[in-house]
Amino acid sequence: MYRAPLREMRFVLEELLRAGTLSACPRFAEYSDELARSVLEEAAHFAEDVLEPLNRPGDTEGARWTPDGVVTAPGFRAAYERFVAGGWPALGSDSDFGGQPVPRVLVSAVGEFWGSANLAFKLGPMLTHGAVHALELTGSAALKARYLPKMVKGEWSGTMVLTEAQAGSDLGAVRTRAVPEGDHYRLFGQKIFITWGDHDLTANTIHMVLARAEGAPPGVKGISLFIVPKVLVNADGSLGERNDVRCLSIEHKLGINASPTCVLAFGEKQGALGYLIGEPGRGLEYMFIMMNSARLSVGSEGYAVGERAFQRAAEWARTRVQGRPPGAERGSAAPIINHPDVKRMLLMMKSQTEASRALTLYTALQFDLAAGSPDAAVRAASQARGELLTPIVKGWCTEVGNEVASIGVQVHGGMGFIEETGAAQYMRDVRITTIYEGTTGIQANDLIGRKLARDRGAAMTAFLTEMDRELEGLAAAEELVDGTCRAARAGVAALARATRALGKALATRPELAQAVSVPYLKLCGYVAGGWLLAKSAARCEEKTQGAEREFYAAKIHTAGFYASQVLPLAEALARVVESGAASVVETDAALI
């Protein structure tokens, strides 16, 4: 049974990140640790009592396509009604449209609980939230007034409609046409891989569609963004007739079976009515607002499923009696959690999940500071830091989630390969997270090609300097965690060395940099995670004699394990970045 990690979440928000200081920002003046605790406790109850019981049935029964529309898995409609009644869709949205403007770091923390309990369910509200955010920033006053109140309340859902069969990730090859007609357009085309593109949870679905207006130039500069509602909205806000949008089919997938992944046809008859968002030709720019929001959310989904896999594996290991651990009396069996390698696997799951959580919430906090700090310099630095870390969160945390879920199957042994234990579902469900919103390779190319190249590494240099300075101070002051801090500092040095090598490659032969971009992204994740776990351990050291000494002692121990068994990967990855590119670039494709 899933239990939301409330104490762990409170530690990260209150003690590691000290998110309560956001109340000094006028935008978040009403935020406090007490408010966050209240929200998290309610979110935990909803995740544990409503969403988690639907996870297994949703996987086995799944969503179902019919000619009249997609029917969601049993129980999902009732759960969504309770979700809306609880006000959860409004969390983090503008109060002008009925939202609850809490910091993004709290929204991310709550989202972890949804993702752990039921990833398939969580994906729908996550996409609606991203669509709301994009429309808030780029839509006209009229479009905001027409669509946002219902979307913020959760009465209508939202989607992100990008992909076409012939284009894949190359959005410059999008062919969906938008024909101007008065104050609107008519769209014609077909889109694939549209998550929650059709369903029976809400009365309307607001599609955010990339399309090419007639006469627009080729490539990404010719793409615009359009609102295309499933059901047309009358001038008075009431629902009118059905738009010319139809779900042709839903995909049969490896996992997340309760989340309908749709093929959508626009304009099979007279054309789907759509409304231009912002300026023509800036569609991809606007869509990236939604995509970057989704990338941070998907990163959290990776470790959220990992958290659930860890909980199930730990429970299994505590109750599965098999074999005699070293040092035990002859003839006596014990739970497998006493076997050294099972301990190692569980610590690998636990430490990487905690590192991923800390990094994701740290990144979300940067965007809160960028949006709310009264200091212009802090806003600029935090925005640069958040943008730098977003592809790392998305890429590394989802790769970690896949590794953790796979280890969870291994902990169960042969029973992990049997669907009835539940371990396999987490591995199947989390697999999509490394692909959503751009594969790990795409995230890595974004990291080196945009985030490093645009400022010649200034944001990364500032980040490396800050990590090293903090770790140097911690290692000198905290005797108990000195080794953990020194290991984290060695990781920072390896990352700095690799960053210099990558910078030289980018300036001379970019293909060499691209050949090692994924190892570089992973290196960034491991090192940043190590920095945050070392800080966590230092914050815990003085509290190991108090009432919660076990909790704090466990965190110090987990950080020490990460330092000794995970962080050494940093040195190996740095060597790959420094000298491994030629073995890729110089390989003839015929030899593969």
Q: In angstroms, rounded to a whole number, what is the distance separating the alpha carbons of residues 135 and 184?
A: 17
Which residues does residue 227 pair with via DSSP β-bridges, in sequence order? 208, 275
Looking only at the bridges linking them, the beta strands covering 245-250 and 261-266 are antiparallel
Q: How many C-beta atoms surround the C-beta of residue 523 within 10 A?
A: 28
Helix, strand, coil % over all residues of the chain, rounded to 5: 65, 15, 25
In the block, which residue shows the tokens 């969390």? 91
- Answer for the pair 501, 577: CB distance below 8 angstroms, yes or no: yes
Exposure pattern of 272-308 as b/e (b: 16+ CB <10 Å)? bbbbbbbebbbbbebbebbbbbbbbbbbbbbbbbbbb
15 in active site: no
C-alpha–C-alpha distance, residues 163 and 263, integer Å: 10
Q: Give the active site residue among 136, 307, 437, 478.
A: 437
Burial bucket for residue 110 (CB in 10 Å: 0-12, 13-18, 19+): buried
Q: Which helix (H) or strand (E) holds 412?
A: helix 376-412
Count, residues in the chain = 592
The angle formed by the CA atoms of residues 50, 255 and 4, to the nearest 5 degrees, is 35
CB-CB neighbours of 344 under 10 Å: 13
Give the whole-angstrom CA distance, residue 282 versus residue 413. Answer: 51
Asked whether the beta carbons of 230 and 302 are under 8 A apart, the reply is no
Return d(Cα 275, Cα 144) in angstroms, integer: 12
With CA atoms as reference, report the closest residue to 559 among 338, 350, 293.
350
Please identify every residue annotated as catalytic: 437
